[in-house]
């Protein structure tokens, strides 16, 4: 079978101040601040985040709650999409699907998201969530996220 490679995407930055806007948007969400998400890095079309796990992030049996993983994947994908917005636009999640691949137990979650389709009205991104226990990262979840591009003035 041939070794197929996805075509590398060329992302167009539409806001010259996108870095400051991305940081503002990332930390402005009260729910995200309360959970303790941290912005690890970003560039046009991609984002990486992390979360130091605490007891409040766990479910009844001591594993990371699925809602925490889903929120991390969604917010990271949304931030990756936000890097491509024009000034005056916002991003809203229209749909997402997450596959929880294995139970997550460790000290930290790390998520990376990449825009797959940078559309004018809808942006499609994927996110991968890793759980770190010691120095061993393990892929624990994968999400596909559809995000709507909305003009803030119309809200």
Which residues lie closer than 8 Å to 33 by C-beta, 6 or more apart? 27
In this predicted structure, the answer to whether residue 104 has a pLDDT above a threshold of 70 is yes
At CB < 8 A and 24+ separation, what contacts does 123-126 make? 123/81, 123/84, 123/91, 123/147, 123/149, 125/77, 125/78, 125/80, 125/81, 126/77
**% the chain with pLDDT above 90:** 86
Q: What would the mean pLDDT of 87-115 be, rounded to a whole number?
A: 98
Greater pLDDT, 51 or 154? 51
Helix, strand, or coil (residue 33): helix
Q: In whole angstroms, what is the distance from residue 24 CA to residue 28 CA?
A: 6
Give the pLDDT confidence of 122-132 residue by residue, as tens digits: 999 999 999 99
Give the pLDDT confidence of 60-100 residue by residue, as tens digits: 999 999 999 999 999 999 999 999 999 999 999 999 999 99
Instruction: Name residue 17's beta-bridge partners.
Output: none
The chain-wide mean pLDDT, for the chain, equals 94
Confidence band, pLDDT 50/70/90 cuts, at residue 153: confident
- In this prediction the pTM is 0.93
Confidence band, pLDDT 50/70/90 cuts, at residue 3: confident
Q: In whole angstroms, what is the distance from residue 3 CA to residue 63 CA?
A: 37
What ranges do the domains of the chain cover? Answer: 18-154
pLDDT of residue 8: 66
Class of domain 18-154: alpha beta
Contact 20, 83 (CB under 8 A): no
């Amino acid at each position: 079978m041939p070794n197929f490679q996805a075509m590398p995407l060329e992302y167009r930055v539409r806001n010259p101040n996108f870095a400051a806007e991305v940081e503002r948007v990332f930390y402005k969400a009260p729910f995200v601040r309360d959970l303790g998400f941290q912005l690890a890095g970003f560039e046009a079309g991609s984002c990486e985040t992390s979360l130091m796990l605490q007891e409040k992030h766990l479910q009844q049996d001591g594993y990371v709650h699925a809602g925490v993983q889903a929120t991390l994947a969604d917010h990271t994908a949304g931030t990756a999409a936000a890097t491509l917005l024009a000034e005056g636009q916002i991003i809203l999640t229209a749909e997402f699907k997450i596959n929880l691949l294995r139970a997550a137990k460790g000290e930290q979650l790390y998520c990376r998201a990449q825009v797959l389709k940078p559309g004018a009205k809808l942006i499609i991104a994927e996110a991968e969530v890793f759980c770190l226990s010691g120095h061993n990262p393990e892929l624990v979840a994968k999400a596909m996220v559809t995000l709507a591009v909305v003009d803030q003035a119309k809200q």
